[in-house]
Amino acid sequence: MIFSIALLICINTIPNKWAIDDSVIIHQNNFVKKGISGIPDIMTKDAFAGLYGQDVNAVSGGRYRPLSPMLFAVQAEIFASTKKDIHQEIEKDKAENKIKDLSDKTWFPNILHFFNALWYALLCMVIYRTLFLLLNQKQEADNTKANFIAFVTTLIYTIHPLHTEAVANVKGLDEILTMLGSVATLYFVLLQFLKDKSEPNFKSQRYLIYAAVCYLLALFAKESAVTFIAIIPLAMWFFTEASTRNIFKLTMPLLLPLFIFLGIRTAVLHQPNKQTIAKELMNDPFLVLDTKAEYAPLVQG
């Protein structure tokens, strides 16, 4: 039901075309426009390099979020037609890679809006399942209360207008994926805990492996997933009866994907040949400050 509700409230975004931020990551990104041929560049360069044509520090600290651009590149390879010039000849870049037509005159942005709605619906469903597991830990037999609270909480999350931008703006897929991967990480950690608790002789660590993979993908989607390295053990502490030692044992494997991500991010973003940080409003909120300006009432009279 949660999946259907999420899909239903997002269905009106499908007729939309591109938003402002979509140009940076999708339809004006030279790496994405090459389809799967652009994936090596996506993995080894700053997120803004595909737009500016060179690896620069467009914003302070850099941006390394390759997962969603990789998905866009794969979708461009599958769904987008090859771009042609005025003579109806196929356009290619200097490396002879075919360029995909990602303009708003095609159906490609509508296809991506549809997939965004699907990803969001999947996220809401995973949130519900995870909350149900968390809230059911201290229930003896009747799990009706836990089910009700999990459903209502997820429903509020699903229909909350704050999440509109992440779905309606195709570039917002990075927000959806990082939340999906992070919550799925907690879900698999909980499954491992429950399996170890119910079957003391259970030796398999497959759920922890699934958790580590999900966490690595969440980090590659957006850096904010790093906060779940603290959220997951806290959730285990407050909502389960796991001992401190057990919580430590369950969450320690998550440090491996974290260190892998940080190592790759550092190698990609801190290169000696990068230009100086650009003068952008996102870097300096006082960039266009007029020191002679005066405050005036909005309504006079």
Q: pTM of the prediction?
A: 0.86
- In the chain, DSSP finds a helix count (H) and a strand count (E) of 13, 0
What letters, b where the CB count within 10 A reaches 16 and e where it falls short, cover 33-64?
Answer: bbbebbbebbbbbbbbbbbeeebbbbbeebbb
190 domain residue, yes or no: yes
**Structural domain for 235, as ranges:** 108-269
Question: Which of 235, 175, 243 has the alpha carbon at shortest distance from 211?
Answer: 235
Average pLDDT of every residue of the chain: 85
38 domain residue, yes or no: no
Q: How much is the pLDDT for 195?
A: 86
Locate 53 and state its tokens.
Answer: 């044509």
16 domain residue, yes or no: no
pLDDT tens across 210-241, in order?
Answer: 999 999 999 999 999 999 999 999 999 998 88
Dihedrals phi, psi of 195, to nearest 5 degrees: -65, -45
131 domain residue, yes or no: yes
Locate 240 and state its tokens.
Answer: 């389960």
246 domain residue, yes or no: yes
> Is residue 269 scored above 90 in pLDDT?
no
- Contact in structure between 232 and 189 (CB atoms under 8 Å): yes
Q: How much is the pLDDT for 284?
A: 54
d(CA 236, CA 188): 12
> Is residue 300 scored above 60 in pLDDT?
no
55 domain residue, yes or no: no
Q: How much is the pLDDT for 76?
A: 93
- Angle (CA) 163-166-170 rounded to 5° is 155
- Angle of helix 244-251 relative to helix 173-198, nearest 10 degrees? 130
228 domain residue, yes or no: yes
- The total domain count for the chain is 1
Q: How much is the pLDDT for 103?
A: 84
Give the helix ranges, DSSP H, for 11-143.
22, 39-44, 49-52, 67-79, 108-135
186 domain residue, yes or no: yes
